[in-house]
Structure 1
C-alpha cells in the first residue's frame, strides 16, 4: 500500500515536468510574429523661411506603402482626417516607406520646400510667419498617422512700398529667443527707430525703421536675431513743393526722393516745362534732388500739377494752388484819395467789378494771364476800416482801406455876439479866431455843419437844429423867426453852438455856447442917458421957476 502511494506521487511530478517540456518545445516551434511600432514623423530643421528645403524622416510605416506629407496652419490630432478636419493645407511631398527586409524597412526619408500658399484645402491661405503643422497619411487627404511642428521664420512689413522717409513697422517670428536684433537695408545696417531691440522669449519682435535715401525700385530689408529673414520694400518716387500754395510770381521750391540714380530731371507746371532759377536738375546716387526753384507762372487761380520726371521715366506729381490775389495802394487816406487796385489769378479775359463799402465804383477787364489794374477815388465813408471788394464772379477778394480819423479844424463862432440881440437874423462862424474870413479846413471834403439853438444852457430843449449845412453861416428863415425864435430877453436868452463834420464822419467838438436874445431890450446906456437927460431937464425947470419967482 505504501509502495503504491509513493509510486503515484512520483508519477505526478514526472507528468508535470513532461508537460512543461512539451510547452517549451511548442513555443520554440511556432514562428515569431513581428510587432509594428507606431508611425513617427520628424522635420529638420524645425524652423525656416518660405522656400527653404526641409528634410522629412520617420519610421514605423507599413513597408513599401505610399506616404503623403501635408503642410497646414491648423492643428489636428492623430486619427483625424485631412479632408474632414482641416480647411487650409498643401500637399508638399509623396514618398514610400522602405520595403520589407530592406535596411530602411518601414522608414521614410524625403524633403519639401516651405510653400508660400496653402491651396489644396477648401480655403486658400497665404503662408505667413508662425507655427505650422506637418502631417503624414497613407492615403491622399486621408487619416493622419503622424504629426510634427514647424515654425515659419519670417518678417512682415506692414507696408511693402512707399517713399524715402516713411516709417515702416516690421514684425518677426521664428527667431532665437532673447537675442539682439540687427536690421539691414540694401546690406547696410540701419537704426531701429522704435520698438523692440531684442526678440522676446518666443523669438518674436515688432519694430519700426525709417526708409533711408534710396533709388526707385526694390530694396532688401533683412533682420537678424541669430537666425535671419528678409523681405523686400519698393521705393516709389516722391516730390514735395514749398510752399504748396501761393501767388503768381512766387518762388516755388521742388525736392525729390526715390528717383533713378544720377539722371537728369525736368520740372513742369500745368504740363509746361519750367525754366529753373536755381538748383541742379539731376539726381544723386540715391535718386534724390533738392532746391529746384522756379517762379509760379501767370495763369488763373486754381490747383495745378507740378511734375518731376527723370530720364528713366520715373515720375511723381504734387499739387500747387495758385491763389487769386489783389492789392490796393495806398491802404490809408481820406475821402477822395485815388486808389489803385491790382490783381492776379483772376479769370482770364473776364471782368472784375470793384465795390467800395458795397457801392460799385469801377470795373476792369482781366488780361489773358489773369491780371488787372484799376483806379478810383474813395467815396465819403466813415473813418476806420472800409471794405474794397474785388470779384470776377468766381474769385472774390476783400481788401481793407483805412479812412483817416482826424476831425476838421476848430470852429470859432462869430455872430451873434455874446449876450447880444440876433442881428440880421443870421448865425456866422469861421475857422480862425484871428481871421474871420478863414474857413474850417479838412482833408476829407466836403465839410458840413450842425447848428443847434436851445432855450437852456444844457441844450435839453432844442428849439432849432440845422444839419448838413455846407456854408459857414446860416440865415434864419421868416418861418423860423415866427415859429422857433420868439422874443426873449437878456435874462432869459437863447443858447447856441455849432460843430463841423467832414466826409469821413469825423466831428469837431461843439463850439463854446453863445447867448443871444430876440426882440427889443432897453440897453443900459440908454437908461443912463435918459437919467442924465432927466437930470438936465429938472435943472432947467428949477432955473426957470427960480427966475419967475424973482420977477414976482
Structure 2
C-alpha cells in the first residue's frame, strides 16, 4: 500500500513538473524608460531616464520613431540617463521614443507628442509694428491663426508649408501698455505655447513739419485709461479732452503754439503716467488764404519759423513790403493787382531763410447790374461788363441770345488783363435771356430777366366821341411811359366790334397820328360812323388793353331822321321837274 501511495505522489509531481516546463520563461529583467517632458515643440530638449540589467557601461541607443537620435550608457547601478533634441523636421503628432541595449537587456519605450511652436523676431515694440514670426510642428499645408490670450477671434493668419513650418510677419494689434500673450493654432487640439510681446506707448503726428497755428492730429497707442495730456518742450500740459479707448488708443487735435524755427518735442502722458514723445521741426513756412483768386481779391499771408525778432521782406507781383516779426511769426494782407491769370510765386525772407508759396490768379468777368425773376430789368437798360485776368490784346465779344451786340469802340483786353464795356439791352420778350461774354478761350454766361409788366392803357383825346372830324383826320391820345420804352397801335374800323378793320397802324412812336392822303376816309353819316381805338406796347412786347372804341364822322352830314331825309329828296325831285319845265317854255318862246 505504501508503495502505491508513493508512486501516486511521484506521478503528481511529475505532472506538475511537465506543466511548469510547458509555461513560458519570465524575462531576466524589465528595462524602464521615462521622458521629461512628454510633449513639446520640435527642437525641444528632452531628458531620458531609465533602468536596465544590462552590463554596466554598455551602450544604449535612444531611438525617436525608430531612428537613432542619441546615445547613453548603463550606469553601475543599472541606471540609464541621457537626453535628445526633438527633430525640427517633424509635424504635430505622437511619436515613439525607445531604448535599444547592446548589453543584452530588453527594449523599453514611451511616447512623445510634438506640439506647434512659434518664435517672434522681436519681443517688444509698439502697436502697428510688423514682427517676423517663424514656427514649426504645424499640420502641413494648413491655415495657421494667431490669437491674443483671452480673445477668441484671430488677429492674423498664414499657411504652413508641406513640412508644417511657417514664416510670416504679423502686425501687432491695438492694445494697452503691457505684455501680449500670442499663440498660434492650425485647428488642432492644442496650439503653440504662448510667446510674449511687450507693448509700449507710442505717439505719431499728422505732420512732421507743422507751422505755428496749424492744427495737427496726435495719434497714440499703448496707453492706459484716462484723459491724455499734451505738452511741448516741457511746457505746461494741456488736457486735450480725449480719453484713451479700451484698446489703449486715442486721437487728439492740438494747435501748434508760437515756436521758433528748429526741433521741438511733443510729449503725451496718460492718467497712469505712461508717456511717449516725438520730435518735429518748425521750418520756415508761409501760407496763403485763399490760395487762388481773381484781381481785387484780398489775400492773407501767415508766416512762421523765421527769426524770433526783426523783420521779413514779403515780395508779391513785383512789389516788396517789410513786415515785423513776433516770435518768428507774422501776418499781413495784400490785394491781387491787375495781372493776367496764372500761377505767381509769393516769397518771404528774414535774410537767413526764405519760404515761398504759390498764388493762382483766376479770370473774372462780372456784369452790373444783375437781376432775377423777382426784380427784372428792362429793355434799353445799360449794362456794364468788366473782366480781369485775361490775355492781353484779346478782343471781347458779347452776345444776347446768341445775337452779337455791337459795342463801340470794340472792346480789347489791356496789358493788365482787364477790360470794361457797356451796352443797352435790345428789344426782347419778357422773361430770361442769355448774355455771353467771350475773350480768347475764356467765356462767361449771365442770365438777364426782362420785365413782363404791361404799360398803362392810353387815354383817347381826339377825335372826340360822336363828332365830325376834318380831313385829314388827326388822332391824338395821352402819352404812356414804360421802362422798356413804348410804341402804339392805332386801329380804325367800320364797326364798333372792329370786325371790319380799315386801317391798323403799328409801331407809332408818338402819341398822335395824322392820316395820309392815301388813307382819306369817305364821308359817312352819324348812322354809320367810323370807330377808332389805340393801345400801348412796350419794348418787351407787353401790351396794354385797347382804349374804349370811339366813333366819328367825316364829310357832309345832316343829322335828320330818315323820314325828313326822304321828304327833302322828294322836294328836290319836284324842284328839278319845275326847273326842267321852265327851261322848256323859255326855249319855246324863242
Q: 1:444 Cα deviation (Å)? A: 7.3
Q: 1:524 Cα deviation (Å)? A: 2.7
1:498 is aligned to 2:534: yes
Would you say how many aligned residue pairs link Structure 1 and Structure 2? 415
1:315 is aligned to 2:355: yes
Please give the per-residue CA displacement for 1:208-266, whole angstroms capped at 9, x wherever unaligned: 13142244554323333333332334556654434455442443221234556447434
1:298 is aligned to 2:338: yes
1:184 is aligned to 2:220: no
- Counterpart position of 1:352: 396
Asked whether the 8 Å contact 2:378–2:540 carries over to 1, the reply is yes
Residue among 449, 452, 457 paired with 2:491: 452
Structure 1 CA distance for aligned equivalents of residues 570 and 387 of structure 2 = 88
TM-score normalized by the length of structure 2 = 0.53
SS in 2 for 1:424: coil
Asked whether the 8 Å contact 2:341–2:360 carries over to 1, the reply is no
Please give the per-residue CA displacement for 1:313-372, whole angstroms capped at 9, x wherever unaligned: 353525343342345589999876776654332221221223456332122122111123
SS in 2 for 1:221: strand
Residue among 386, 405, 413 paired with 1:366: 413
Structure 2 CA distance for aligned equivalents of residues 349 and 514 of structure 1 = 62
Residue among 316, 340, 343 paired with 2:387: 343
- Counterpart position of 1:468: 507
- Counterpart position of 1:222: 267
Q: 1:190 Cα deviation (Å)? A: 4.0
Question: CA 1:248 to 1:158, structure 2 compared with 1: closer, same or farther past 3 Å?
Answer: closer
* Worse-superposed segment, 161-170 or 305-314: 305-314
TM-score normalized by the length of structure 1 = 0.56
SS in 1 for 2:323: coil
* 1:225-236 pair list within 5 angstroms: 225-235=272-282
Q: 1:49 Cα deviation (Å)? A: 6.1
* 1:314-463 pair list within 5 angstroms: 315-328=355-368, 341-355=385-399, 358-362=403-407, 363-376=410-423, 379-381=426-428, 389-398=436-445, 407=455, 410-415=458-463, 417-420=464-467, 423-424=470-471, 426-431=473-478, 440=479, 448-454=487-493, 457-459=496-498, 462=501
Question: CA 1:205 to 1:192, structure 2 compared with 1: closer, same or farther past 3 Å?
Answer: farther
Question: CA 1:430 to 1:86, structure 2 compared with 1: closer, same or farther past 3 Å?
Answer: closer
- Counterpart position of 2:27: none
Q: 1:374 Cα deviation (Å)? A: 3.9
RMSD of the alignment, in Å? Answer: 5.5
Structure 1 regions of 5+ residues with no counterpart?
Answer: 1-25, 39-45, 51-70, 89-120, 135-144, 432-439, 536-552
Asked whether the 8 Å contact 1:490–1:517 carries over to 2, the reply is yes
Question: CA 1:529 to 1:487, structure 2 compared with 1: closer, same or farther past 3 Å?
Answer: closer
Structure 2 CA distance for aligned equivalents of residues 518 and 237 of structure 1 = 97
Question: CA 1:524 to 1:244, structure 2 compared with 1: closer, same or farther past 3 Å?
Answer: farther
Q: 1:155 Cα deviation (Å)? A: 0.9
Structure 2 CA distance for aligned equivalents of residues 127 and 385 of structure 1 = 65
Structure 2 regions of 5+ residues with no counterpart?
Answer: 1-55, 57-74, 86-121, 147-165, 183-191, 572-590
Asked whether the 8 Å contact 2:454–2:538 carries over to 1, the reply is no
Structure 2 CA distance for aligned equivalents of residues 356 and 146 of structure 1 = 84
- Counterpart position of 2:329: 288
Question: CA 1:491 to 1:237, structure 2 compared with 1: closer, same or farther past 3 Å?
Answer: farther
Q: 1:500 Cα deviation (Å)? A: 3.7
Q: 1:534 Cα deviation (Å)? A: 11
Q: 1:451 Cα deviation (Å)? A: 1.3
Residue among 319, 340, 351 paired with 1:274: 319
Greater strand share, structure number: 2
